[in-house]
A and B are shown apart, each in its own frame.
Chain A
Amino acid sequence: MKPRTLLVIAWLGVILYAYPGYMSADSVLQLVQARTGVFGLGHPPLMGVVWALCDAIVTGPFGMLVLQVSCFVAGAYLLLRHSMSERAAAAVTLALCWFPPVLADLAVIWKDTQMTAYLVLGIALLTSPRRGVRLGGLALLSLATAMRYNALAITFAPVVLLFVWNPVHRWFVRYPLAVVAWIVITVTPAVVNDALVSERAYLWHDSIALFDLTGTLRYAPDLPDTAVRDALAGTPLHATSDLQAAARTTPPGPYAASYGTGTYVPALWATTFQLFDPPTTMQQRDAIAAAWRRFVPAHLSAYLTYRWHVFREVIHLGDHHIPSAVYASFTDSLDRAGSAARIGHNAVSSHLQRWLHRAMAWIASSWLFRPWLYLALSLILLPLGRDRIVFALALSGIANEAALFVLAPTVDYRYSIWLVVATLIVTASLVAGRSARR
């Protein structure tokens, strides 16, 4: 079979599984933003712009699905071509696209998936001998950075290790230029996103900072109420006394759906909003930022302990049961009819899709969806990556998880999708490299 045929089959398989593209509440909101041009509420405006462009051609999620699947298939093939024959690269691309832990996310219109698709193609284009194509790769990596904050950690190693302005440059010119390129592709989308936002959300102040304060207070050494009050001065405290005891208490479940899946993390969110009220003024948000700067660095060990507990659950290390990582709803699964009416879009599953959903549901809580496995594999393979591309990919996957260690707010498999994709490409490349040497 020709490589092109294999790639078309890979592409078509994902499209048929996902058609016309699965959407969660976030996706529905982003489509509404794309159509109204009113961006914000924590979603990247640049994704809204991309979606508005797709929606102008093909309405709904289908254009975005085609875009992300096409970028992913092309990028994976080009990356794998460096270490194997064309046909083998196409066959591995097909296997990669249809691998359930990849397919599960590739089918959904999420910023995480968009980021992953642009990352794969962007990194592949960085290795081109033509400068124009390499600059195109940088543009795609910049777009990936616009999708999610953790992309800035992901892009650092690939850009610094792979981007070459001019092949004749020695290392002392090449690397500083690459670092400058990374700064440009990181800062530019942040500036553009900020300029496009019309409904500003203070996600860090309103949620993650409060989560950090609660988690750190929980594991900090015993502190008197007065010391805690001083540290948290000005923040919207809900509890009136025994503040540290409140941070160490876990309210009984069930917890709000917005706290996500897992056990430790949703419980800690419930604790957080037992200790704090949501901030409503800018003064309170400034006080939260000041309290974070005062309290967290002063109790770094407690902070790291709490983050480790969160991270352990994010990568499902030691979890006996994990929640299903497969999402397969064409509109917001919590309000199907309402969200369908809002966006004038709905779909029903084909018989083929229903069979595939059943198969995916069966596998969705298996060990294949435990990110710690991919993290461990990446750490093992990292020293073996003598090839620059393989090494950069392995590093970028690990960097994604390092960013999640600090910033992951909830337990969600999709946060680790880049680690999974990078690890799989690295593994396939190394196996192919070893076979070729033999």
Chain B
Amino acid sequence: MKLRVEVSPRAILAAGWLAAFIYGYPGRLPLASVDLLQHARAPHPTVFSFVWHLLEYVLAGPTGMLAAQLGLAVAGAYALLEAVLLERRAAWLTAALIVSPPVLATITIVSPASLAGALLMFGAGRESRVALGLAAAVHPAAIVAALPLVLLQRRSWLTWLVIAALAIGANAALTRHAPHFDVHARVLGVPSTIDPPTAPDATLLKLGVPTERSHLQDAVTAVLDLVPALYTPALWLAIALALLALRRRDRTAVLMLAAGIGFAAALCITTPDHALPLYAFALLVLLRGRA
């Protein structure tokens, strides 16, 4: 007798979220995010710090942000895939996307770029202007990426202008000066390291952030480290451009790829998490293509 266990799409999505959460727990903090956590607890001069500050009402430390980033990414990716695939298949592919090495290695980093990437995915999938606006507000590169996604929602470019103005305005209101575009020239071909440099243990512990990594996390990191080329943004840029050429008649694919490329191009990718939208949208186009 063949035993067939029916797993609901929701359970599959929860499993994907949980797997990524366990790998990323309590949230991988690059040095810049350590500063932002401090800002979230003192005056919060950016929208990202303000969002973190709000999440700290419920869960202190990076875990709330990690959970939120993963939740947004899962919900957005599922919506994008479910539009063209059967529910269960879309759920499996979403789970696979979240735990795929390039996405897993970047979405578990708690940073403005990762949150913006997750919000862009959510905004694209759920047709949410609020999510796109928030993405643009937490990371300036998302302003560029938001344009194709606004067009994907079949809205006017004026909507994008409003989103961009509100995002810049919100940051300006909090910082009392213009948003800071942290763009450093960096060669796209340099492979990004999976583990970003972080603050000393004593600083993290003082902020209430655990410093120990579990054996499972170390083992997964070791596996992820096996193919460093996977985290070469230039490779993914080439893939995205190739997909763009191949799927040029597919409006959704073109706009999603444009968002990923736009985000990357706006920054020249200086840290691993900057490449998340590029990885995620390229993979989503690949997975949707299976339909």
Contact = CB atoms under 8 A, between A and B. Distances in A.
Bound pair (A, B): yes
Given A55-B214, A62-B26, A350-B64, 8 more contacts: A56-B215, A337-B205, A344-B211, A344-B212, A346-B210, A350-B58, A350-B60, A351-B57
A16 B58 contact: yes
A352 interface: yes
A361 interface: no
B56 to A, nearest CB: 6
B59 interface: yes
Interface string A294-330: 0000000000000000000000000000000000001
B208 A348 contact: yes
Contacts of B216: 56-58
Given A56-B216, A57-B216, A346 B60 contact: no
A19 interface: yes
Contacts of A353: 60
Nearest to A346: B205
A236 to B, nearest CB: 41
Interface string B22-34: 1001100000000
B22 A57 contact: yes
A351 B56 contact: yes
A325 B214 CA distance: 32
A344 B59 contact: no
Interface in A73-89: none
Nearest to B212: A344
Interface of A: 16, 19-20, 55-60, 62, 330, 337, 340-341, 343-353
Interface of B: 22, 25-26, 56-61, 63-64, 201-202, 204-217
A246 to B, nearest CB: 46
A341 B208 contact: no
Contacts of B56: 350-351
Contacts of B211: 344-345
Contacts of B63: 19-20
A59 B57 contact: no
Given A57-B214, A348-B207, A20 B26 contact: yes
A108 B212 CA distance: 20
Given A20-B26, A58-B214, A59-B214, A346 B206 contact: yes
Contacts of A57: 22, 214-216
Given A56-B214, A344-B210, A349 B25 contact: no
Nearest to B64: A350
Contacts of A20: 26, 63, 210
B57 to A, nearest CB: 4
Given A58-B22, A341-B205, A344-B201, A19 B59 contact: yes
Nearest to B207: A348
Given A55-B214, A59-B210, A350 B205 contact: no
27 contacts: A16-B58, A20-B26, A20-B210, A55-B214, A56-B216, A57-B214, A57-B216, A58-B214, A59-B25, A59-B212, A59-B213, A59-B214, A60-B210, A62-B25, A341-B201, A341-B202, A344-B205, A344-B210, A344-B212, A345-B211, A346-B209, A347-B61, A347-B210, A348-B61, A348-B207, A350-B57, A350-B60
